């Protein structure tokens, strides 16, 4: 029975290319400055990093986009970038991935979000961010909602990827309320707790443990607390399910009908958790968009997370890596 289920999941990964997904979220650039440390600065008790290289990657919601494309799904994206070099870089990289960017707004009044990490000997020394966390104005929220209403019928699923940088707002949810209330399209929300009060009538939320505690309003002292919090959030948001990502403890899926399923981690070694949550959302969306249920989609997403945390930097899982991981389970 288990072998048959595993075969079905392996087969389903090849169907990911048929998925067409819309993402609304905060687009970012991740910059990695790498070097080595051989001395401490005479000016202050800080390490001096001798820079040996710099790489730039899509980050935030744009990382969800590239995870889906890496698994051969089709993507359109709504978001906001600044009229600056970083904004142009994001647009160019998305276009290289054959992503529909017609829902992206350029705003000269706010900078494109850039997160720069300085790394030496595989250790992050410091991170500095260039961003605006102010909510997007009414006009931008209306433009994004208009795009969604004009195009949602061609998509299998909507992802709301919230990094708290202003795209996801009360105004946006108000403008989308008609669509959400009718539940005409499955909706995944990767939440930011400061915006929790805005979410309603969604299909599934994907918080981590600390976000779940914040949204539920209490700290966990036992395994039962995950279930209590999950049911509370599901009822409050009129959702169908909650998938809690729990780092080395894997994931916990809780459904509207009261089921709780713990999925143990598949990670053999953890080198870097950067972007793992984006991978989970991307793979979960591809599973649901191609007809898998919550459990099946979460299992594949868990395998994908186990793959990416075993790589350095913002990483992705390929279809072949996912298939190999599923076939290797239990061996």
How far apart are alpha carbons 266 and 282 in whole angstroms?
Answer: 17
Q: Which is the catalytic residue, given 107, 156, 162, 278?
A: 278
3-state percent helix, strand, coil for the chain, nearest multiple of 5: 40, 30, 30
Closest CA to 207 of 227, 192, 228, 223: 192
Active site residue 156: no
Closest CA to 24 of 228, 166, 219: 166
Closest CA to 205 of 231, 182, 173, 170: 231
Opening angle at CA 189, ends 188 and 195, nearest 5: 160
User: Which residues lie across from 86 on neighbouring strands?
Assistant: none
Inter-residue contact 292 to 331 (CB < 8 Å):
no
Looking at the annotation, which residues are catalytic? 278
């Amino acid at each position: 029975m288990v072998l048959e289920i595993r075969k079905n999941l392996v087969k389903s990964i090849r169907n990911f290319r048929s998925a067409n997904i819309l993402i609304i979220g905060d687009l970012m650039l991740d910059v990695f400055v790498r070097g080595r440390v051989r001395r401490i600065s005479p000016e202050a008790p800080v390490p001096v990093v001798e820079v040996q290289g710099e790489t730039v990657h899509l980050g935030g919601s744009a990382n969800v986009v590239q995870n889906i494309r890496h698994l051969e799904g089709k993507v359109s994206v709504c978001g906001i970038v600044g009229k600056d070099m970083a904004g142009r870089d994001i647009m160019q990289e998305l276009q290289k991935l054959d992503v529909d960017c017609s829902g992206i707004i350029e705003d000269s009044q706010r900078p494109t979000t850039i997160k720069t990490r300085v790394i030496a000997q595989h250790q992050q020394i410091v991170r500095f961010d260039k961003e605006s966390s102010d909510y997007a104005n009414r006009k931008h929220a209306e433009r994004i909602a208009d795009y969604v209403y004009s195009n949602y019928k061609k998509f299998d699923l909507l992802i709301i990827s919230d990094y708290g940088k202003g795209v996801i707002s009360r105004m946006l949810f108000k403008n989308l309320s008609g669509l959400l209330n009718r539940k005409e399209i499955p909706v995944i929300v990767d939440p930011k707790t400061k915006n929790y009060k805005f979410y309603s009538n969604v299909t599934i939320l994907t918080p981590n443990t600390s976000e779940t505690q914040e949204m539920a309003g209490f700290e966990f002292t036992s395994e039962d607390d995950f279930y209590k919090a999950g049911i509370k959030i599901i009822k409050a948001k009129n959702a169908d399910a909650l998938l809690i990502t729990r780092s080395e403890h894997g994931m916990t899926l809780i459904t509207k009908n009261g089921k709780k399923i713990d999925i143990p981690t598949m990670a053999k070694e953890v080198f870097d958790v950067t972007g793992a949550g984006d991978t989970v959302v991307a793979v979960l969306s591809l599973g649901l968009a191609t007809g898998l249920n919550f459990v099946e989609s979460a299992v594949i997403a868990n395998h994908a997370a186990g793959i990416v945390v075993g790589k350095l930097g913002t990483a992705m899982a390929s279809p072949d890596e996912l298939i190999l991981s599923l076939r290797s389970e239990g061996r």
